[in-house]
Amino acid sequence: MLRQPRRGPTPSNWASWKPFGIGEEHPNNFAEVGRAIWENRDRAGYAWRILNQGVCDGCALGTTGMHDWTIDGIHLCNVRLRLLRLNTMPAMDGALLGDVAALRRLSGAELRDLGRLPYPMLRRAGEPGFTRIGWDEALALAADRIRAAGPSRIGFYVTSRGIPNESYYAAQKAVRAIGTNSIDSSARLCHSPSTFGLKEALGVAATTCSYSDLIGTDLIVFLGSNVANNQPVMMKYLHLAKKAGTKVAVVNPYREPGMERYWIPSTVESALFGTRIDDRFFQINIGGDVAFLSGVLKHVLEQGWLDEEFASTHTTGLDELRAELDTADWESLERLAGASREEMLALARTVGEAKGAVFVWSMGVTQHENGEDNVRAIVNLALSRGFVGREGCGLMPIRGHSGVQGGAEMGCYATSFPGGLAVDEENAAKLSRQWGFEVPSEPGMTTPEMLAAAGHGELDVLFAAGGNFTEVLPDSASTEGALERIPLRVHMDIVASSQMLVDPAEEVILLPAMTRYEIPGGVTETSTERRVIFSPEIPGPRIDEARPEWEVMTELAARVRPEAAEQVRFAGTAEIRDEIGRLVANYEGIENLREAGDSFQYGGPMLCAGPSFPTPDGKAHFNRVSIPDSRPEDGRLVVSTRRGKQFNSMVQESHDSLTAAAREAVLINEHDARRLGLGQGDELLLRSDVGELRGHVHLAPIAPGNIQVHWPEGNALIAGGHLSPEADMPDYNARVTVEPLPASAQPSPDPSAN
């Protein structure tokens, strides 16, 4: 039974007695509101309607207007406010795109500030920039090239930038009508190991509980997740959870300041005195998750904290896992985890004494070469206590972007069909019957595979709806080189981005996209807690020639395969929802969503309730994990990338107000810095096997032997092609040497310039 938050003040949870945290480092959310009002002053009414009626296009917590289904009161954060201008800005002067060399000198933020893409444009090899073309010419050119290339030499990518379920569904259907499964989405780059690990263990591939399970349960464990930065309204949920007596444990290499204490502007008590968030912090090495969690589980088993009844009745695989853990020696676990066995015991005791717990993780867990095993280790620990399928219990791979949950579930995935069905003969045959055209049965190219094929000269057409490969993928130089080899690139987006400016091998087409708020008929998104939410079309100014992705990609497919045109075209988003409701598992009912506020939570508030697991044997599966030896023996440090004040690769400020770190900051432990002869602010050079990055020392409570740099700047250090084995997740970590630079050394170009 979940406890209710205390009504009166709870001074024991206060972060500081100084009103409004004066003198403390934290975001000034009141200033963010003022800034949003100023930025959107020319279209204030439209901006207000978007906030008031639309579903937030920021993270995947999910809203309807400025409310949600978890708490009373306002649901609004600075992430959404910073994104608002992208939706309200007018079109750019298209003539600016006539001079690509000049635009290449602009930062990503400056490119965005130019305004929305106004109309379709074309740039041929040798031309200095883009010139205007019509939609018909653009689609005819793309269709001709796709037809000539054949299904094996084309690739499609759809990002998560506010893109709704309807566009994802129609896009993947269109691409499959063209004859390939080579369509991927940004969901792969966030949580593909989570989807894989959950499906394998529980038979479901999404968060098993609701946000409301966080408030009043015994324990929440955050692993590799900084919700203070990425899902700010989650802090409001945590404030209430703390008032209900919920304990919060955080497992991470760096003690994120925002996870220690936070000031919530719309909650008077927290706005005044802040909220202390983590009750216990467990510091581990980058890549030490499996070793640490294996040590924790070993303690749970040895101390008799296993939920015997749950394990014997509802699970399989524990004996094999136990035998493996029995052979793991504590010294190795401690060395690899970067934490002592006593620390592991402390978390084991916390988990072992809790009657309910929710485990929340994010890309600190998934973006590793062994991302799947990291997820398996979390699931194993949760299963040892039976923390699934009950109130106050759950597994929550929290999503950072509003489109990723739906994108994967709609089948915008090279390796699965809508509803998460495997790409195989049986499912392809079934879909072929339902759709009325032949659906390919071989998995398509994932995003990293498309880029690899491009690098080898084996990709003739790339259609990217959003995204910015040159910034988000490791090894940007190779990525740019690969893009330069693709004969035709089509970039559909709302604003200009640096990948559009990469020189054409033959042609590059730009297509202007609508925002989710402009799409006639309204659209839906799916939140982290599996809530499918309707976002209505919002009346307001429009970019005359912008079109929705769903319409463009289906029209393209109709031109490539005229014989399938009738099957692939839709009359509008309502018709797409009808088809999703009929064909996609869990989405029955989406066809009834018509107005702002309409939603449903597929699977109900809780998956696996009972417990009951939709696996072939009806049981949850403990899975063995390999404990990777990720620690360098040669004195190098392990670096991972982190987010600052940004949304995806869109950097919004040169300083992160949660950490006080500048974009060029290298977060390093004081002990390591001293050993290297470095002090706060000193210039340094990081060198990995593939690249270099200049920065300056930012002393931080990070585990010794580990450092963090901001992403995407840190991509300079990350090798491409290191993928997790089952989910193809790129590894965003590297080993580096650290060299102090003399004070006179040239500073690096401003890395906020992206």
Footprint on this chain of ligand SF4 (rule: CB under 6 A): 56, 58-59, 61-63, 75-77, 79-80, 231-233
**Residue in this structure with the two tokens 């937030």, named with its chain if needed:** 56
Longest dimension (CA), the chain: 71
Residues in the chain: 754
How far is it, in rounded angstroms, from Cα 271 to Cα 264?
Answer: 5
For residue 85, the minimal CB distance to ligand SF4 (Å) is 14
Q: What are the tokens at 652? A: 């919004």
Q: Closer to ligand SF4 at the Cβ: 358 or 510? A: 358
Nearer to ligand SF4, 142 or 234 (CB): 234
Question: Closest distance between ligand SF4 and the C-beta of residue 564, in Å?
Answer: 37
Close Cβ partners of 40 (under 8 Å, ≥ 6 residues apart): 46, 47, 84, 85, 88
Report the nearest approach of ligand SF4 to the CB of residue 670 (Å).
Answer: 33
Distance from first CA to last CA of the chain, Å, rounded?
A: 48
> What three-state secondary structure class fits 744?
coil
Phi-psi region of 139 (alpha: psi -120 to 50; beta: other; left: phi over 0): alpha
Residue 76 C-beta: closest distance to ligand SF4, Å:
5
Spatial distance between the Cα atoms of 189 and 481, rounded to a whole number of angstroms: 21
* Residue 748: DSSP 8-state: P
Asked if 729 contacts 698 with a C-beta cutoff of 8 angstroms, the reply is: no
Which of 233, 336 has the CB closer to ligand SF4? Answer: 233
In the complex, the smallest distance separating the C-beta of residue 497 from ligand SF4, rounded to whole angstroms, is: 20
> Closer CB to ligand SF4, residue 185 or residue 648?
648
Comparing CB distances to ligand SF4, the nearer of 49 and 147 is 49
Provide CB contacts within 8 A for 186, sequence distance 6+.
Answer: 158, 159, 160, 401, 403, 404, 407, 467
DSSP code string of 690-730: S-EEEEEEEE--B-TTEEEEETTGGGGGPPTT-B-TTT-PB
CB nearer to ligand SF4: give 59 or 249: 59
Closest C-alpha to 340, from 280, 256, 284: 284
Least separation, in Å, of the C-beta of 233 and ligand SF4? Answer: 4
Q: How far is the CB of 714 from ligand SF4 (least distance, A)?
A: 23
Between 229 and 370, name the residue whose CB sits nearer to ligand SF4: 229
With respect to ligand SF4, which residue has the nearer C-beta, 62 or 714? 62
Phi, psi angles (nearest 5°) of residue 490: -120, 120
Least distance to ligand SF4 from the beta carbon of 79, Å?
A: 4
| Residue from 483, 463, 461 nearest 473 by CA | 483
Judged on CB neighbours under 10 Å (0-12, 13-18, 19+), 655 is middle
The total of other beta-carbon atoms located within 10 Å of residue 582's CB is 12
Q: Which residue is nearest to ligand SF4 (CB)?
A: 58
Report the distance separating Cα 55 and Cα 525, nearest Å.
8
**To the nearest whole angstrom, how small is the minimum distance from the Cβ of residue 58 to ligand SF4?**
3
Question: 62 or 193, CB closer to ligand SF4?
Answer: 62
Q: How far apart are CA 105 and CA 128, in angstroms?
A: 14
Residues with Cβ within 8 Å of 674's Cβ and at least 6 positions away in sequence, in order, are none
Q: Provide the minimum distance between the beta carbon of 77 and ligand SF4 in the complex, in angstroms, as a whole number.
A: 3
Minimum distance from residue 68 beta carbon to ligand SF4 (Å): 7
